[in-house]
């Protein structure tokens, strides 16, 4: 089964021979190895690259165990490079290679070598690309399957695919499992034995139960505004435990660094400034989020908002939560300050879109409620409401684009409608 990941493949292709180490990052099992060893390798062969000029090593394979020793690997690679033609070196799970920074930096000094590596998020996160390679690393971050990628191989209808995607998420191995109970077992086991263990081992977390309890709270509150103080209070009232704001912030940073969770800051649209707190958190993969909650809490409206956020991030947008502050005077002459919210303020280059996620718009009153904040931005950037029940995309009388969630997700140019 071939899953096309054209967006990421094209990014790799565009970075060929740029003199930097191409580093593919992302959560475990999202398709990093498949991208370089299958899709990118097939691209190289299709354009006529000699097989002998493609050197691939998976360091987590037992047969390649000896190559984890840099004193074995480096001479081997030098021996394989026999002429002046371009050699493509593809290395998987490179964090298992001893002194990998020195080895890779030595390789890219060779004029006819182009290097591509993947690393697990246990020791090899995006911030490590910056610190370890000191400007020599070029990151390509890969996410779980988008809904469009998911549907490219899903055998059922859009609605059935939507239901499955919301429940089990988009990790590629899920597509090879047919039994629902096995899907659930896979996701739970992956979370417990891989993702949590990665974080605990990487950061030497002493209280794993505390870390997992916080993760469960965040899982229950996707798309809700929160901050360390609020989460600390939740621990006191629900968990009957005291945990400091600093510890909570540190744990959340671990989740974000490991690509499990992403955040959206609040942005004052009229004041043109960021508001530090509270923040919204979304899960990179909803199947993993649901696994944390034993598949009990499945609200479609919040899930749809999370999917929209992930899609926008995959398309390369910077995504914030919009805030519009209204200052009014009540009947007694007292000043009233009220804040309205726009779900997503999306920026990429000169483009900006204001987007509301509304699961259903049954009547005009709901439409007015959803678009009120959009009409108060004071600018002319495109304003969009994405809903589950729109039959087709259209502009309403106020100039707001109403779009079906399927039109948005299945058409990469949907925002330019």
Q: Are residues 77 and 224 in the same domain?
A: no
For the stretch 379-388, pLDDT in tens is: 999 999 999 9
Q: Are residues 362 and 337 in the same domain?
A: yes
Q: Are residues 386 and 367 in the same domain?
A: yes
Q: Is the pLDDT of residue 257 over 90?
A: no
Domain count, the chain: 2
Q: Is residue 39 included in any domain, yes or no?
A: yes
Q: Are residues 170 and 232 in the same domain?
A: yes
Q: Is the pLDDT of residue 136 over 70?
A: yes
For the stretch 183-216, pLDDT in tens is: 999 999 998 888 898 889 888 999 999 999 899 9
* Distance separating alpha carbons of residues 284 and 219, to the nearest angstrom: 11
pLDDT grade for 124, boundaries at 50, 70 and 90:
low
Q: Is the pLDDT of residue 330 over 90?
A: no
Q: What are the distances in angstroms from CA 6 to CA 10, 24, 74, 90, 145?
A: 6, 14, 32, 18, 11
Q: Is the pLDDT of residue 45 over 80?
A: yes
- Across the range 218-244, mean pLDDT stands at 85
* Distance separating alpha carbons of residues 345 and 130, to the nearest angstrom: 27
Q: Are residues 348 and 213 in the same domain?
A: yes
List helix spans (H) across 49-168. Answer: 70-80, 100-107, 126-133, 147-151, 158-168
Q: Is residue 1 included in any domain, yes or no?
A: no
Q: Are residues 309 and 394 in the same domain?
A: yes
pLDDT grade for 315, boundaries at 50, 70 and 90:
very high
Q: Are residues 110 and 163 in the same domain?
A: no
Lowest mean pLDDT among 70-74, 168-172, 302-306, 413-417: 413-417
- What is the model's pLDDT at position 201? 86
- What is the model's pLDDT at position 130? 58
Q: Are residues 126 and 178 in the same domain?
A: no
Peptide bond before residue 281 is cis, with ω within 30 degrees of 0: no
- Across the range 80-103, mean pLDDT stands at 92
- Across the range 116-124, mean pLDDT stands at 73
Among residues 141, 162, 196, which one ends one of the domains? Answer: 141
Q: Is the pLDDT of residue 122 over 60?
A: no
Among residues 141, 161, 176, which one ends one of the domains? Answer: 141
Q: Are residues 296 and 261 in the same domain?
A: yes
pLDDT grade for 313, boundaries at 50, 70 and 90:
very high
Instruction: Select the more confidently predicted residue: 284 or 329.
Output: 284
- From edge to edge, which strands make up the β-sheet containing 21-25? 54-58, 87-92, 113-118, 21-25, 137-141
Q: For residue 127, what is the domain's CATH number?
A: 3.40.50.300
- Across the range 87-110, mean pLDDT stands at 91
pLDDT grade for 390, boundaries at 50, 70 and 90:
confident
Residues 6+ apart with CB under 8 A from 343: 305, 308, 321, 322, 355, 356, 357
Share of the chain above pLDDT 90, in %: 69
> Across the chain, what does the average pLDDT equal?
91
Lowest mean pLDDT among 57-66, 74-83, 195-204, 264-273: 195-204
* Boundaries of domain holding 61: 6-141
Instruction: Select the more confidently predicted residue: 237 or 197.
Output: 197
Among residues 126, 141, 156, which one ends one of the domains? Answer: 141
- What is the model's pLDDT at position 129? 60
- What is the model's pLDDT at position 383? 97
Q: Are residues 202 and 337 in the same domain?
A: yes
- Across the range 266-273, mean pLDDT stands at 92
Instruction: Select the more confidently predicted residue: 248 or 122.
Output: 248
- Across the range 74-86, mean pLDDT stands at 95
Q: Is the pLDDT of residue 167 over 80?
A: yes
Q: Are residues 26 and 173 in the same domain?
A: no
Q: Are residues 339 and 380 in the same domain?
A: yes
Q: Is the pLDDT of residue 401 over 70?
A: yes
- What is the model's pLDDT at position 236? 80
Nearest-10 Cα torsion for 262, 217, 196, 302: -50
Q: What are the distances in angstroms from CA 387 to CA 358, 404, 408?
A: 5, 5, 9
- What is the model's pLDDT at position 334? 67
Q: What are the distances in angstroms from CA 315 to CA 28, 365, 384?
A: 21, 32, 16
């Amino acid at each position: 089964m071939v899953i096309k990941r054209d967006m990421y493949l094209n990014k790799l292709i565009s970075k060929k021979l740029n003199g930097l180490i191409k580093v593919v990052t992302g959560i475990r099992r999202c398709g990093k190895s498949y991208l370089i060893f299958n899709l990118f390798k097939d691209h190289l062969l299709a354009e006529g690259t000699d097989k002998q000029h493609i050197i691939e090593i998976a360091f987590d394979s037992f047969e390649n165990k000896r190559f984890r020793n840099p004193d074995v690997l480096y001479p081997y690679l030098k021996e394989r490079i026999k002429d002046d033609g371009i050699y493509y070196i593809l290395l998987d799970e490179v964090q298992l290679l001893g002194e990998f920074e020195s080895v890779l930096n030595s390789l890219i000094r060779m004029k006819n070598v182009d290097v591509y590596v993947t690393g697990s998020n246990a020791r090899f996160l995006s911030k490590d690309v910056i610190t370890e390679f000191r400007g020599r690393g070029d990151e390509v971050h890969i996410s779980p399957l988008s809904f469009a990628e998911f549907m490219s191989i899903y055998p059922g209808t859009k609605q059935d695919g939507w239901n499955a995607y919301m429940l089990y998420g988009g990790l590629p191995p899920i597509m090879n499992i047919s039994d629902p109970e096995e899907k659930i077992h896979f996701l739970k086991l992956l979370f417990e034995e891989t993702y949590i263990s990665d974080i605990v081992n990487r950061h030497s977390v002493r209280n794993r139960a505390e870390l997992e309890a916080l993760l469960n709270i965040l899982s229950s509150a996707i798309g809700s505004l929160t901050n360390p103080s609020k989460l600390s209070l939740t621990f006191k009232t629900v968990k009957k435990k005291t945990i400091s704001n600093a510890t909570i912030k540190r744990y959340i940073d671990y989740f974000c660094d490991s690509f499990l969770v992403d955040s959206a800051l609040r942005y004052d649209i009229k004041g043109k400034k960021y508001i530090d707190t509270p923040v919204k958190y979304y899960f990179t993969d909803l199947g993993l989020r649901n696994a944390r909650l034993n598949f009990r809490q499945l609200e479609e409206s919040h899930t749809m908002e999370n999917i929209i956020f992930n899609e926008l991030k995959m398309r390369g947008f910077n995504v914030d939560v919009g805030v519009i502050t209204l200052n009014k005077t009540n009947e007694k002459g007292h000043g009233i300050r009220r804040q309205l919210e726009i779900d997503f303020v999306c920026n990429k280059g000169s483009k900006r879109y204001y987007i509301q996620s509304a699961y259903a718009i049954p009547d005009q009153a709901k439409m007015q409620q959803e678009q009120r904040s959009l009409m108060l931005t004071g600018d002319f950037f495109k304003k969009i409401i994405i809903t589950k029940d729109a039959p087709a995309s259209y502009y309403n009388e106020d100039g707001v684009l109403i779009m079906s969630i399927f039109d948005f997700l299945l058409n990469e140019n949907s925002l330019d409608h």
